């Protein structure tokens, strides 16, 4: 019986032995309520309709990268050691815990809205709710977490709307982001519009097509078919 059990796991670390890739499902972490996510995504809905609005939004994003958070895990101390503001200049808004005067949700969200990329380093676990926060803020996520099986990667091409940076390339963070051509960055922003609905819950209303609830069910079913041999396994 145990071999047929499939887990839906937030901490989908394929190096820890608990998560079995291709059988278990990686669950996105959500910190905010759906109403807040919807509010943060209103600007992105406008982008779907008007290309000019996206151009204006990109112009408002004066920072190259943003991170603020507590220091735990193996990655965040390394990130701060190299890039803690002002080491990377005004473009690199990389902090530990924000000062008391700045420590509120609206200031944090404003930083995300003013940045092209939001750095999402692992903490104690490989996953982080800031990935979903970044997606809904129109801020391209930069995921730094070796061994992290990204949510819904059975159908989503994460490289089309995020940057996946190996931990040993933290010193190259600024150059990696700066070297992304403007045309590719715009494509990544457009993809954020399309994937945002997959990272949204709708309580207390019923689930909506292609939202997080349906994506989890689809991942469970697809993995079941692959695991039982009813569908060929995807290429490695």
The answer to whether residue 2 is domain-embedded is no
Rounded to whole angstroms, the maximal C-alpha distance in the chain is 56
The Cα–Cα gap between 60 and 13 comes to: 36
Average pLDDT score over the chain: 84
The answer to whether residue 165 is domain-embedded is yes
Return the DSSP state at 18.
S
The answer to whether residue 86 is domain-embedded is yes
The Cα–Cα gap between 133 and 110 comes to: 12
CATH of residue 200:
3.40.50
- Tokens 């503001």 belong to 85
Q: Tell me the range of 13-17, 79-83, 110-114, 211-215 where mean pLDDT is highest.
A: 79-83
The Cα–Cα gap between 62 and 92 comes to: 10
Report the DSSP beta bridge partners of residue 163: 142
The Cα–Cα gap between 169 and 82 comes to: 11
The answer to whether residue 215 is domain-embedded is no
* Pairing mode, strands 163-164 and 92-94: unpaired
The answer to whether residue 17 is domain-embedded is no
Return the DSSP state at 13.
B
The Cα–Cα gap between 135 and 158 comes to: 11
Interval 68-116: pLDDT, tens: 999 999 999 999 999 999 999 999 999 998 876 555 667 888 899 999 9
Full-prediction pTM beyond 0.85?
A: no
In DSSP notation, 45-73 reads HHHHH-HHHHHHHHHH--EEEEE-----T
The answer to whether residue 233 is domain-embedded is no
Mean pLDDT over 149-154 rounds to 90
Residue-number span of the structural domain to which 92 is assigned:
30-207
The answer to whether residue 79 is domain-embedded is yes
Interval 182-209: pLDDT, tens: 999 999 999 988 899 999 988 878 898 9
Per-residue CA distances from 81 to 96, 124, 179 (Å): 10, 18, 22
Domains contained in the chain, number: 1
The answer to whether residue 42 is domain-embedded is yes
């Amino acid at each position: 019986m145990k071999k047929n059990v499939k887990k839906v796991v937030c901490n989908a670390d394929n190096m820890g032995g608990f998560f079995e890739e291709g059988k278990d499902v990686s669950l996105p972490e959500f910190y905010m309520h759906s109403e807040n996510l919807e509010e943060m995504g209103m600007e992105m809905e406008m982008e779907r309709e008007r290309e000019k609005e996206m151009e204006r939004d990109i112009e408002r994003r004066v920072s190259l990268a943003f991170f603020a958070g507590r220091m735990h895990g193996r990655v965040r101390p390394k990130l701060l050691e190299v890039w803690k503001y002002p080491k990377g200049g005004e473009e690199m808004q990389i902090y530990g815990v924000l000062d008391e005067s700045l420590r509120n949700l609206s200031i944090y969200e404003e930083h995300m809205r003013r940045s092209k990329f939001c750095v999402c380093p692992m903490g104690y676990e490989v996953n982080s709710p800031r990935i979903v926060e970044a997606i809904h803020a129109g801020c391209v996520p930069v995921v730094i977490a070796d061994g992290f099986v990204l949510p819904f990667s059975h159908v989503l091409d994460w490289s089309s709307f995020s940057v996946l940076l190996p931990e040993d390339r933290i010193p190259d963070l600024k150059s990696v982001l700066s070297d992304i051509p403007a045309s590719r960055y715009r494509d990544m922003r457009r993809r954020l519009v399309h994937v945002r609905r997959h990272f949204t819950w709708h309580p207390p209303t019923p689930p909506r097509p292609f939202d997080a609830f349906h994506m989890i069910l689809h991942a469970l079913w697809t993995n079941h078919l692959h695991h039982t041999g009813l569908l060929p396994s995807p290429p490695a």
